[in-house]
Structures are given as structure tokens and as C-alpha cells.
């Protein structure tokens, strides 16, 4: 009898406390989803909320992140000499100021950008750069693997470390753990002189615990402070070491960029911040401007984002640029599950006459995410957005967009709530007609092998498919 009473009182207390606690600093839809779960299954719901309800890093980690930012920023006074003299439209300058205030990194002039659309090109370019390294190599990737595609690059990193180059490697713990060959990777790293660490490790026995689905999704490589690589590609073969993908002919399609100029230093700041967070070792002595301070003519700005920041830096930038567009928006996102603000920005742009196109995979690699994505197609098509489906079985994993003839953005960030709130991401805003034209060339190749989705065809899809899409949409709320 007393057990029933105690459980009843506990159940009521959980419900009352949840009403006043959960809505704080959350979107109403997110709060309602958690409240419904707790009201239907109170004890299970509260356990799940304690595990997944906090989308920020721990207070200790956030305080450490702030200290890291301050320490790193204090060590990059050289960047103050490289600040941009950009003379373009005011709305672009405004976006740059937004980025500066949120992410602390300035726009810098004089950069070169070469786009690398494919595994062979990007792996080869990174390998060649590592083989020329004289001082240091900093590599940070969400997923790393030792396989027939990455072997040459890993060998180059090992050889660089052997000849006295400081080689540091970061990889996301859970992201890398999930792919085949994790133990082989650890064995290889432990056998050589590469300095390496897991990012956001989830090792309870070592006191390392946080929300399990917070991930460091960044992809960065910096060599000697002179050349850097970033984009969408992980260090793994294009079928992700998965026999099912190979059998189906499924490969990931990526876009990386090779950059030179002051932008390399700002990318290295992001690496240095993450390295300091994981090791407490400062790399301030590496944060000098490259010898050739102006090898090109592209103005660029690095935009870090993630749960270590109090704001959703990437989402705010994306919305700002989309609302500023006057003529054309081209978006490529493998996981397009927007929040209301981004959905309104994109559909509003189309409704006010901007040509808007979206490139997505015909068939996604993640069932729930793909169906959640499809639940937005009707609203997009009705607003006038043109949707191009990249031919299956390939997975269009590249992440970039262009605005008018002024701005291109590429990096690791998807257009979904995971990338806006849960993942540490890095994006690069690139300014000028030349780089936009290069990006448009890549977009043209996507369009050539995609087919356009028509509203009439989409509305005639089976009711069962519509039902699955709508159910999957409920998973879009993740905070």
C-alpha cells in the first residue's frame, strides 16, 4: 500500500517539476515533446531526459571552452594585422560582423581556395601536403579509419612524425568507434609517434561522461600553418567500410577545399581550441600568419559552432545570408531537417522571387533522417523551391551553399538541428564572384546527374510513404 502511495506521489512530483523546468531555454515544440514523454511514461521519460535533455556541454566543459577561447585569442594578435578590407555589399559585411561577434574570428583577405570534389583528389592533396611538412601537422576529423583509401595518408602522417614533425590527430570517439576497424586504428596510432586524442570521449570508468549524442563533427587539417583543408569528408573510404554499401554500389560524394593565406591561421585556431580542450596543451606558438600572407584574392572567415557556444552560430549565419539573397540560392545538404526559422527563411526567399534550389540524395543512408527530410518537401515545393534528387545509390554528403554571386559557404555543418545544437561544427564563408563561380560549377555537376522532383508527383506518392515521413518528422526535435 505504502509503495503505491510513494510511487503515486513521486509520479505527481515529476510531472509538476517537469512543467516548470523543461520549458526553460528550449523551443516550445521541444519542450512539449519532452513533457509528453514524461507524462506518458514518467520514470522512463525522466531517465531519457537526464541522458539526452541537456544539449550543452557540461558547465565545467563550457567554462573550460571559454578559458580556451580567451587563451587562444590572446595568442593570435597577428590576426589583427590581417583583418579584411572587404569592399562588397553591406549585407555581406553585416554577416561578417555577426560571425565575428559569435565566433570571435575575423574576415581575412588574400586567400586562395581550390575545391576538391572527390575522395581521390582530396586524399592525394592532403597526403602530398603532409609529405612536405616541416614543422607540424594538425588533423581533426569526425571519423578516422585505416583502410585501402586512407592508408597512404596515415603512412605519410607516421613518416612525418618519425622525421621530427609534430603530428597531432583528433577524432570523435563515438563517431570513429562506430565504423569497422576501430581497434586497428588504435593499434596503428599507439605504435607510432603521432600524438592523438579522442574528442568528446565517452568513458565513464575514466570519469568522462556527457550527453551521449554530443559529437565533434569538424573536419580540419593544417600543415605548417601554410595550407589547410576542410569540408565534408571524413578520413575513411567512400563506402564507410561497410560491405552492404559496397554491394549496393553506395559511395559518399564529398566536397573539400584546400586553402592558403591567413584563413589557414583561423582554421588552426579552431584546431588549437579543440586540442587544448582535450589535452590542456597550448599551441599558441603555432598561431602565426603564413609566410605568404596574400597568395590569392578570396576574402574568407571561419565560423565555429556547437554546444560549447551559447548561440547557434551556424544557424544564425545561414538565416542571415538566406534572408539577404536577392537573386539565387543553391543549397546542398545531405541531412536537410530545418527548424522553423530556417524553413521560413528558405521558403520566404522563394516566395519573394529568389531562385532557390536544393540538392539532396534520392535515397538517404539514415532511414529516420531521410524520411524526416522528405516531410519538408511539400512545403518547399509549394513555395517554389526546386528540389534535385542526386541519383541513388550515391549519398550526396557535401555540405555547402551559395548566395547570389557574392557568398559561398562550405564546411562540416548539415542543415538540421543536430548540426545546429548538438555537433561541434566548422564552416568557412568565402566571398567573391570567382569562388562562387567555382562552387556553381560543382553544383552544375550535381544537377546533371540528378532528377528534379515535381510537386504533382510528390503529392501522388503512396499514403503509407506520407505516413512514415510524418512519423519520422517527430524525430527532428532533438534538444
Residue 478: the pLDDT is 47
Render pLDDT for 210-219 as a digit per residue (tens, 0 to 9): 677 789 999 9
- If phi over 0 gives left and psi between -120 and 50 gives alpha, with beta otherwise, what is residue 223? beta
- What share of the chain in percent tops pLDDT 90? 71
| 40 band by pLDDT with thresholds 50, 70 and 90 | low
Residue 48: the pLDDT is 60
| 60 band by pLDDT with thresholds 50, 70 and 90 | low
- The yes-or-no answer to whether 59-298 and 313-478 have a common fold is yes
Distances (CA, A) of 449 to 443, 445, 452: 10, 7, 10
Does 179 have pLDDT greater than 80?
Answer: yes
For the chain, the first-to-last Cα distance in angstroms comes to 38
Does 18 have pLDDT greater than 80?
Answer: no
Does 157 have pLDDT greater than 50?
Answer: yes
The backbone torsions φ and ψ at residue 282, rounded to the nearest 5 degrees and listed phi first, read -85, 140
| Range from 29-38, 339-348, 382-391, 465-474 carrying the lowest mean pLDDT | 29-38
Question: Is it true that the peptide bond before 393 is cis, omega within 30 degrees of 0?
Answer: yes
State the DSSP code for 391: P
State the DSSP code for 422: I
Mean predicted confidence (pLDDT) in 452-477 = 89
Residues with Cβ within 8 Å of residue 179, at least 6 apart in sequence: 143, 145, 236, 240, 241
Does 242 have pLDDT greater than 80?
Answer: yes
| Range from 177-181, 305-309, 348-352 carrying the lowest mean pLDDT | 305-309
Beta-carbon count within 10 A of 50 CB: 10
Does 290 have pLDDT greater than 60?
Answer: yes
Mean predicted confidence (pLDDT) in 421-431 = 95
Question: 394 near 253, Cβ under 8 Å?
Answer: yes
User: Higher confidence at residue 64 or residue 272?
Assistant: 272
313-478 fold = Endonuclease; Chain A (3.30.870)
CA dihedral 415, 396, 56, 316 (to 10 degrees): -30
Taking the C-alpha atoms of residue 38 and residue 42, their distance in angstroms, rounded to an integer, is 4
Mean predicted confidence (pLDDT) in 335-343 = 95
State the DSSP code for 421: I
Question: 120 near 126, Cβ under 8 Å?
Answer: no
Residues with Cβ within 8 Å of residue 127, at least 6 apart in sequence: 152, 153, 156
Render pLDDT for 70-106 as a digit per residue (tens, 0 to 9): 655 665 566 666 678 898 999 999 999 999 989 889 9
- If phi over 0 gives left and psi between -120 and 50 gives alpha, with beta otherwise, what is residue 200? left
Alpha-carbon Rg of the chain, whole angstroms? 23
Residue 310: the pLDDT is 76
Name the CATH code of domain 59-298 (choices 3.30.2020.30, 3.40.190.10, 3.30.870.10, 3.90.76.10): 3.30.870.10
For the chain, domain boundaries: 59-298, 313-478
Question: 365 near 390, Cβ under 8 Å?
Answer: no
Residue 316: the pLDDT is 97
Does 479 have pLDDT greater than 50?
Answer: no
Per-residue HEC secondary structure of 64-118 comes to HHHHHHHHHHHCCHHHHHHECCCCCCHHHHHHHHHHHHHHCCCCEEEEEEEEECC
Question: 214 near 418, Cβ under 8 Å?
Answer: no
| 476 band by pLDDT with thresholds 50, 70 and 90 | low
Residue 413: the pLDDT is 97
Give the distance, in angstroms, between the CA of residue 380 and the centroid of all CA atoms in the same chain: 23
Amino acid at each position: 500500500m505504502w509503495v503505491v502511495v510513494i510511487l503515486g506521489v513521486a509520479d505527481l512530483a515529476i510531472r509538476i517539476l517537469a512543467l516548470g523546468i523543461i520549458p526553460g531555454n528550449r523551443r516550445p515544440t521541444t519542450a512539449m515533446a519532452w513533457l509528453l514523454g514524461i507524462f506518458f511514461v514518467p520514470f522512463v521519460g525522466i531517465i531519457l531526459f537526464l541522458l539526452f535533455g541537456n544539449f550543452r556541454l557540461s558547465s565545467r566543459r563550457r567554462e573550460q571552452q571559454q578559458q580556451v577561447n580567451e587563451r587562444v585569442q590572446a595568442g593570435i594578435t597577428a590576426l589583427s594585422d590581417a583583418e579584411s578590407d572587404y569592399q562588397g555589399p553591406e549585407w555581406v559585411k553585416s554577416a561578417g560582423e555577426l560571425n565575428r561577434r559569435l565566433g570571435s574570428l575575423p574576415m581575412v583577405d588574400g586567400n586562395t581556395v581550390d575545391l576538391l570534389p572527390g575522395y581521390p583528389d582530396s586524399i592525394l592533396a592532403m597526403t602530398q601536403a603532409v609529405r612536405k611538412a616541416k614543422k607540424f601537422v594538425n588533423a581533426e576529423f569526425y571519423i578516422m579509419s585505416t583502410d585501402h583509401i586512407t592508408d597512404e595518408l596515415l603512412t605519410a602522417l607516421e613518416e612525418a612524425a618519425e622525421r621530427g614533425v609534430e603530428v597531432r590527430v583528433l577524432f570523435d570517439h563515438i563517431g570513429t568507434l562506430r565504423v569497422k576497424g576501430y581497434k586497428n586504428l588504435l593499434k596503428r596510432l599507439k605504435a607510432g609517434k603521432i600524438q592523438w586524442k579522442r574528442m568528446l570521449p565517452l568513458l565513464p570508468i575514466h570519469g568522462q561522461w556527457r550527453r551521449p549524442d554530443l559529437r565533434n563533427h569538424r573536419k580540419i587539417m593544417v600543415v605548417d600553418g601554410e595550407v589547410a583543408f576542410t569540408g565534408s569528408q571524413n578520413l575513411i573510404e567512400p563506402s564507410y567500410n561497410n560491405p552492404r554499401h559496397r554491394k549496393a554500389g553506395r559511395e559518399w560524394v564529398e566536397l573539400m577545399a584546400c586553402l592558403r593565406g591567413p584563413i589557414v591561421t583561423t582554421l588552426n585556431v579552431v584546431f588549437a581550441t579543440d586540442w587544448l580542450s582535450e589535452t590542456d596543451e597550448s599551441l599558441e606558438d603555432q598561431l602565426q600568419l603564413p609566410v605568404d600572407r596574400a597568395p590569392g584574392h578570396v576574402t574568407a572567415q571561419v565560423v565555429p559552432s556547437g554546444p560549447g557556444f551559447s548561440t547557434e552560430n551556424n544557424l544564425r549565419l545561414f538565416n542571415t545570408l538566406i534572408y539577404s539573397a536577392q537573386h539565387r540560392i543553391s543549397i546542398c545538404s545531405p541531412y536537410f531537417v530545418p527548424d522553423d526559422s530556417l524553413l521560413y527563411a528558405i521558403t520566404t526567399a522563394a516566395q519573394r522571387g529568389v531562385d532557390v534550389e536544393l540538392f539532396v540524395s534520392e535515397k538517404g543512408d539514415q532511414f529516420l533522417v531521410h524520411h524526416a527530410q522528405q516531410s519538408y518537401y511539400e512545403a518547399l515545393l509549394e513555395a517554389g523551391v526546386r528540389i534535385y534528387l542526386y541519383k541513388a545509390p550515391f549519398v550526396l554528403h557535401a555540405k555547402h551553399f551559395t548566395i547570389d554571386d557574392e557568398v559561398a559557404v562550405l564546411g562540416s555543418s548539415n542543415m538540421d538541428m543536430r548540426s545546429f545544437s548538438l555537433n561541434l561544427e566548422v564552416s568557412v564563408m568565402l566571398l567573391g564572384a570567382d569562388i562562387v563561380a567555382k562552387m556553381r560549377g560543382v553544383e552544375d555537376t550535381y544537377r546533371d546527374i540528378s532528377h528534379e522532383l515535381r510537386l504533382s508527383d510528390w503529392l501522388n506518392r503512396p499514403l503509407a510513404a506520407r505516413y512514415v515521413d510524418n512519423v519520422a518528422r517527430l524525430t527532428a526535435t532533438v534538444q
